[in-house]
């Protein structure tokens, strides 16, 4: 019995082996078919996703139902598609992605181009403060005049005397003698002969203004008719400057005869003199200590010596000045007299 079963047994075994081989082939075909279906489904899903992502592309109706050979293949493809990232999904994450579950920020909506702000107005340059007005100079002191007294008058007198303007004394009182000296200074400086010591007269005083003599040697009396000054000159140096008044040029009558009040010009000398009060032979008044240089023309003292020509032709000086000529300086007979 055992010998009879051997071939059959081998035959059954071979049959079983053949069936096993056949089953393996069927299984292999099933496996290959499943793999093909999976690949086909995945490809279809990728294509569908790409088509859906493409702009302006709309899937045809029923395209979502593109099926594989079997339902199992569709399920397998769906599972494979869900586990296989698309090309767009596999791209590098955005810098704003912080990890799984972080929502992608929405694209900014279109807005109008912002208008740049207007440039700021230029800052005005600081304006310089207007210069302060210069303080007003202090008012000039009132000019010295006849009747004033004090230290200012004394200083005036001292300066006049130092320059050679005749003053009998410096006593701090602005009297007639000081006025005569101020007039002489103003005449020498070419100023108005007002007898007031204002800015111009003070400037002339400070500048040391004195007239220039014409003689260069010996002792001489010079009479400047234009300036109305008498100069006592020694060797070309002015010793004293005296206010004087000469003929005014007017016509007058003396002893019944018409006369003109003129002072002759020329070079003369003292030819006669009277030491005291002398009455004019032409009945023209009194003359104090006259020194005659031509006929009836003389240099003499008087009580009226204005700063302009006022005599009948003689040269008037103050009585105090005539005393100085006689007693202090000396102008004996023969002393030169130059009238110009």
Rounded average pLDDT over 290-305: 97
pLDDT digits over 176-224, tens only? 999 999 999 999 999 999 999 999 999 999 999 999 999 999 999 999 9
What confidence tier does 313 reach under pLDDT thresholds 50, 70, 90? very high
Higher pLDDT: 22 or 279? It is 279
The yes/no answer on whether domain 215-340 falls in CATH 3.40.640.10 is no
What is the structure's pLDDT at 95?
39
What is the structure's pLDDT at 12?
47
Rounded average pLDDT over 116-137: 77
Rounded average pLDDT over 226-255: 97
The CATH code that applies to domain 147-210 is 1.10.101.10
Domain range summary for the chain, segments of one domain joined by + = 147-210, 215-340
What is the structure's pLDDT at 39?
57
- Name the β-bridge partners of 119: none
Contact 198, 169 (CB under 8 A): no
- Cα 101 off chain centre by: 75
What is the structure's pLDDT at 205?
98
What is the structure's pLDDT at 59?
40
Nearest-angstrom CA–CA distance, 243 and 169: 16
What is the structure's pLDDT at 86?
45
State the pTM of this model.
Answer: 0.61
Q: What is the mean pLDDT of the chain?
A: 78
What is the structure's pLDDT at 109?
55
Contact 337, 290 (CB under 8 A): no
- Residue 289 token pair: 């200590």
What is the structure's pLDDT at 42?
55
What is the structure's pLDDT at 44?
61
pLDDT digits over 1-37, tens only? 444 444 444 444 444 444 444 344 444 444 444 444 4
């Amino acid at each position: 019995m055992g010998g009879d079963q051997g071939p059959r047994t081998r035959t059954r075994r071979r049959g079983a082996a053949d069936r096993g081989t056949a089953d393996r082939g069927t299984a292999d075909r099933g496996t290959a078919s499943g793999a093909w279906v999976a690949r086909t489904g995945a490809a279809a899903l990728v294509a569908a996703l790409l088509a859906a992502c493409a702009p302006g592309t709309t899937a045809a109706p029923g395209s979502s139902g593109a099926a594989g050979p079997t339902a199992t293949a569709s399920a397998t493809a769906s599972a494979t598609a869900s586990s296989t990232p698309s090309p767009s999904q596999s791209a590098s994450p955005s810098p704003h992605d912080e990890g799984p579950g972080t929502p992608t920020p929405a694209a900014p909506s279109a807005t109008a181009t912002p208008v740049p702000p207007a440039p700021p107005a230029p800052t005005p340059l600081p304006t310089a403060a207007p210069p302060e007005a210069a303080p007003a100079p202090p008012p000039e002191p009132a000019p010295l005049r006849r009747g004033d007294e004090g230290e200012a008058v004394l200083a005036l007198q001292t300066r006049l005397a130092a320059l050679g303007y005749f003053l009998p004394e410096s006593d701090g009182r602005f009297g007639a003698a000081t006025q005569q000296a101020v007039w002489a200074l103003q005449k020498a400086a070419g100023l108005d002969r007002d007898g007031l010591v204002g800015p111009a007269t003070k400037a002339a005083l400070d500048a040391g203004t004195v007239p220039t003599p014409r003689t260069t040697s010996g002792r001489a009396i010079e009479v400047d008719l234009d300036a109305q000054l008498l100069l006592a000159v020694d060797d070309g140096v002015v010793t004293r400057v005296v206010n004087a008044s000469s003929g005014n040029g007017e016509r007058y009558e003396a002893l019944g005869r018409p006369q003109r009040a003129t002072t002759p010009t020329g070079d003369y000398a003292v030819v006669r003199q009277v030491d005291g009060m002398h009455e004019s032979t032409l009945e023209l008044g009194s003359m104090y200590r006259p020194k005659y240089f031509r006929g009836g023309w003389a240099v003499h003292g008087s009580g009226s010596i204005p700063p302009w020509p006022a005599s009948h032709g003689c040269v008037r000086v103050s009585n105090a000045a005539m005393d100085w000529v006689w007693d202090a300086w000396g102008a004996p007979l023969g002393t030169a007299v130059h009238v110009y």
